[in-house]
Amino acid sequence: MTTVFIISAPSGSGKSTLVNLVRSGDSRLLFSVSYTTRKPRGHEQPGESYNYISREDFEQRIRRNEFLEYAEVFGNYYGTSRNALQQAKAEARDLVLDIDVQGARQLKRSIPDAVTIFILAPSRDILEQRLRTRSEDSEDVIERRLHDAAIEIRNWREYDYVVVNHHVNESAETLASIIRAERVRRSRMEEQIRPILASFDQKPPMLF
Ligand code: 5GP
């Protein structure tokens, strides 16, 4: 059984750090590496942060229906490959998607039992400070990200869980707990319960 975890957050909320922390402690999680037409930032490595492709290549993949979902964010395309879900299913792992609000909406429609988690910084000032410390973006990009964050966070009610990222370690624990709890939700336990019930059926209770 594969559970899909969708994580959205305005850029600079600390989402990547949190996701990396949770991934490193949970080998059942498969992280989907998205495709994008944006250029690599700072120390980002192709195939690790994203698969970087041209606009033309992206549009061809759209036509070939290769994306589970895709969206245009900050003037660039971003998309999740269908292969990611197939791989997670084949390996009986859970899939983690770091995607924006539009992508989360699309996926929730096609995978209704996907779990959605929204992460946000405790305030605008802290978000701005984090974006500046990261110093990977130019001034106008930072301004745009702050502007977009203000719009994005208005959608928080559409998510199943909301994590305010005050302290990275605490938030990572919260995120890991959400994942652990969702795995034992009754609707996901059918496959695990069946052999347990069968083992009891083999030895029916003695009737007095
Ligand atoms: P960034 O350029 O800061 O890495 O990402 C910008 C936004 O694109 C973030 O909100 C991120 O979650 C979103 N994003 C990254 N990959 C995908 C994807 O595959 N699909 C969608 N819809 N959004 C994505």
Non-local CB neighbours of 11 within 8 Å, separated by 6+ positions: 131, 145, 148, 149
Output the pLDDT for position 127.
93
pLDDT at 207 exceeding the cut of 90? no
Pocket test for ligand 1, best of 6, 73, 145 (most atoms within 8 A of CB): 73
- Whose CA is closest to 15, among 104, 127, 91? 127
Q: What is the Å distance from ligand 1's center to 180 Cα?
A: 24
Cα distance between residue 99 and residue 39, in whole Å:
17
Q: Is residue 60 part of a domain?
A: yes
Cα distance between residue 105 and residue 118, in whole Å:
12
Q: Is residue 198 part of a domain?
A: no
pLDDT at 20 exceeding the cut of 80? yes
Instruction: At 117, list the tokens.
Output: 């988690």
Q: How far is CA 28 from the centre of its chain?
A: 14
Cα distance between residue 116 and residue 3, in whole Å:
11
Output the pLDDT for position 44.
86
Question: Angle formed by the axes of helices 124-134 and 139-152, to 10°?
Answer: 140
Q: 41 pLDDT band (50/70/90 cuts)?
A: confident
Q: Is ligand 1 within 6 A of the CB of residue 30?
A: no
Q: How many domains does the chain have?
A: 1
Q: What is the Å distance from ligand 1's center to 185 Cα?
A: 28
For residues 3-9, average pLDDT: 97
Whether the Cβ atoms of residue 29 and residue 75 lie closer than 8 Å to each other: no
Q: Is residue 93 part of a domain?
A: yes
pLDDT at 12 exceeding the cut of 90? no
Q: Is ligand 1 within 6 A of the CB of residue 94?
A: no
pLDDT over 70, % of the chain: 100
Q: What is the CATH number of the domain that holds 15?
A: 3.40.50.300
Output the pLDDT for position 74.
78
Q: How far is CA 27 from the centre of its chain?
A: 16
Q: 55 pLDDT band (50/70/90 cuts)?
A: very high
Whose alpha carbon is nearest atom 9 of ligand 1?
A: 100
Q: Which domain holds residue 46?
A: 4-186
Q: Is residue 147 part of a domain?
A: yes
Q: Is residue 203 part of a domain?
A: no
For residues 78-90, average pLDDT: 97
Q: Is residue 129 part of a domain?
A: yes
pLDDT at 172 exceeding the cut of 80? yes
pLDDT over 90, % of the chain: 79
pLDDT at 42 exceeding the cut of 90? no
Q: In ligand 1, which atom is closest to the CA atom of 35?
A: 19
Least-confidence region, from 37-46, 92-101, 154-163: 37-46
Output the pLDDT for position 137.
77
